[in-house]
Amino acid sequence: MSKSDLRRDFAADARLLGIAAAAALIGVLSTVAASVLLKLIRLFTHLFFFHSWSTAPVSPAHNTLGLWVIPVPIAGALIIGLMARFGSEKIRGHGIPEAIEAILFGKSKMSLKVALLKPLSSGIAIGSGGPFGAEGPIIMTGGAIGSLLGQYLHITGSERKTLLVAGAVAGMTAIFGTPIAAVMLAVELLLFELRPRSLVPVAVACAVAAFARPYLFDVGPLFPLQTAIVTPICLLSCVLAGVASGALSWALSTSLYKVEDAFSRLPIHWMWWPSLGAIVIGIGGYLQPRALGVGYDVISDLLHNHLAVDVALALLLCKGVMWVVALGSGTSGGVLAPLLMLGAGLGVVLGPFLPGGEANLWPLVFMAATLGGMMRAPIMAIMFAFEVTHDVNALLPLLTACATAYGFTVLVMPRSILTEKVARRGYHNLPRIWHRSAGAAYGE
C-alpha cells in the first residue's frame, strides 16, 4: 500500500463502483416492488370489503358491511397463518427486525420465497383490514431483492449486506417519497456506520428510487403542510410534546410485547394466533372503520385538523389496541403508518393544551416524535416529517420534540421496538455485535 493510500480517510476500493451500479438496479426493482405491493393492498381491499376486482385507491372505512365487517380480518388472518406455516415463517412480523437479523446473523442472505410471499401476505393482511403500513413489508421485500442480487453476483458478505440495505430503504423511498429519511434509516438502524463503502450504494439506490417514483406513484409530498414560524414558548411546548410522545412509545412497545408473550402461552399452534388477533381488528373496525387498513387519508385529516378532538381520541384508542393485538399475534404488516396515525392523533388531542404554535403544528410534531422515539431513529423521523410535508418552518420544533422523545425512550426502555424483537430471539447488545462482525468482514 502506498503512503498516499495510508493517508486516506477511508479505505478505497474500485469494487465500490460495481456495487453502486448494482444498487441503482436494485433501486428500480424495489420501486416496482413497492408499486406491486400497493396494488395488491388495493386489490385485496376491493375483494374483501367491496367484492369487486380493482386496483383503484379505496379505503376500507367506506364499506357498508355492517356487522359482517368483523369476520373479514379473521378470514385474511387465517390465510396469513397458512402461508406462514406452509410457506415461510419469515413473513411474520413487521419486516425491519427480520432485516436486522438477516444482516447480523444470517450473512445478509434472504430467500426468493420471502421476496414473493412477504408482499402477498402483507397485501392480504392490510387489504383485509389489518391496521398496518406498507413500509415494513416493502423494506423486507426490497431487502430480499438486494440480497438475492448479491447472492447471484457472488460478492462478499459485507457487500451483500450493503445491497440488502439498499433494497430495503429504496422500497421505503418509493412508498413515501422520502429518500433522505430512508438513507438516515439505513444509517441509524441497519448499517451502524457512516462510510463510503455502504453509504454510497445506499444513497444511489434511494436516489434512483426517488427518480423512478413519479412514473409509478403520485408526485409531490404525501401530506403537504405549511405551518407558521415558531416562537420560544412553542419550543418549550415541543419539549413537553417529546415527553408525551416518548411515553406513548413506551406504552405501545411495552404493551406489544406483553401481548406477544400472552399469545406465546396459548396451547395452540402459532399459525392460529393471527386469526385470534383479527377478532379485535374486526370489532375495532366495526366501532371505528377509519382505523382499518393503512389509513393515509386519516393521517392527512389528522395533520390538517379535520377531525374533532373526541373523534381523534376514539381513533387513537381504537387504532392503538387493534395494532398492538394484531402485531403481537404475529401477522404480517408494518409499523410506520400506524405510528404516524397514533402520533398525529395524540397531537390533535393534546395540542389544544400546549401554548405557542398553531393547531396544525402539533399533529406533525407528535407524529415525528412518536416515530423517532419508538424506532430510536430521531434524525430519520425529522427528515421523514419534512419530506412528507415540505414544511421548512417545522424543522426546529421537529428537532426539539424528536430529540426529547429519543432521550426519554433511551432512559425508560432498554431496547427499541425493533431491537427488542431480535433480542427476544437470543441476540443481545446488537450495536457491539454489529461493529465486531462488520469490522471482521472488512479486515479491521
Is 431 a domain residue?
A: no
Q: Name the one residue in this structure whose C-alpha cell is 409509478.
A: 216
Burial class (CB in 10 A: 0-12, 13-18, 19+), 131: buried
* Percent of the chain residues past pLDDT 90, beyond the cut: 64
Per-chain mean pLDDT for the chain: 88
Instruction: With a cut of 50, say whether residue 430 has pLDDT above it.
Output: yes
The single-letter code of the amino acid at 285 is G
Quote the strand ranges of 230-276, DSSP E.
none
Residue 331 lies in a domain: yes
pLDDT(259) > 80: yes
Distance CA 368, CA 436 (A): 32
Q: What is the DSSP letter of 69?
A: G
Domain boundary among 184, 215, 246: 215
The confidence score (pLDDT) of residue 156 equals 85
Distance of alpha carbon 200 from alpha carbon 20, whole angstroms: 7
Backbone φ and ψ for 216, nearest 5 degrees, come out as -125, -15
How many structural domains compose the chain? 2
Q: pTM above 0.85?
A: yes
User: Which of 2-16, 213-227, 314-328, 361-375 is least confident?
Assistant: 2-16
Helix 135-153 with 336-350: angle, nearest 10 deg: 150
pLDDT of residue 109: 74
- Say if residues 164 and 146 touch (Cβ distance below 8 Å): yes
Q: So what's the pLDDT on residue 99? A: 66
Over residues 164-171, the mean pLDDT reads 93
Name the pLDDT band for 442 (thresholds 50, 70, 90).
very low
Q: Residue 443 has what pLDDT? A: 41
Q: Which residue has the higher pLDDT, 387 or 8?
A: 387
Closest CA to 146 of 121, 175, 169: 169
pLDDT tens sequence across 376-421: 999 999 999 999 999 999 999 999 999 999 999 999 988 877 777 6
Q: Are residues 236 and 165 in the same domain?
A: no
The predicted pLDDT at position 346 comes to 97
204 and 67 within one domain: yes
Q: What is the pLDDT of residue 202?
A: 96
Where do we find the cell 419508538? 374
Lowest-confidence segment of 276-280, 320-324, 418-422 by average pLDDT: 418-422
- 244 pLDDT band, cuts 50/70/90, is very high
- The answer as to whether 2 is a domain residue is no
Q: Who has greater pLDDT, 219 or 74?
A: 74
Residue with cell 416524535: 369
Query: Tens digit of pLDDT for each residue in 77-101?
Result: 999 999 989 988 877 866 666 666 6
DSSP state of 230: P
* Domain interval for residue 360: 232-423
- Beta-carbon neighbour count of residue 85 at 10 Å? 14
Instruction: Clarify whether residues 189 and 283 are in a common domain.
Output: no
Residue that wins the pLDDT comparison between 108 and 412: 412
**CATH number reported for the structural domain that contains residue 34 in this entry:** 1.10.3080.10
pLDDT at 444: 43
Q: Are residues 328 and 269 in the same domain?
A: yes
Amino acid symbol at 102: A
Three-class DSSP category at 332: strand
Residue 166 sits in the same domain as residue 297: no
Q: Which amino acid is at 181?
A: A
Same domain, 179 and 258: no
Give the contacts of 367 (CB within 8 A, at least 6 positions apart). 299, 302, 303, 339, 340, 343, 344, 347, 385
Q: Mean pLDDT lowest for which of 45-49, 284-288, 433-437?
A: 433-437
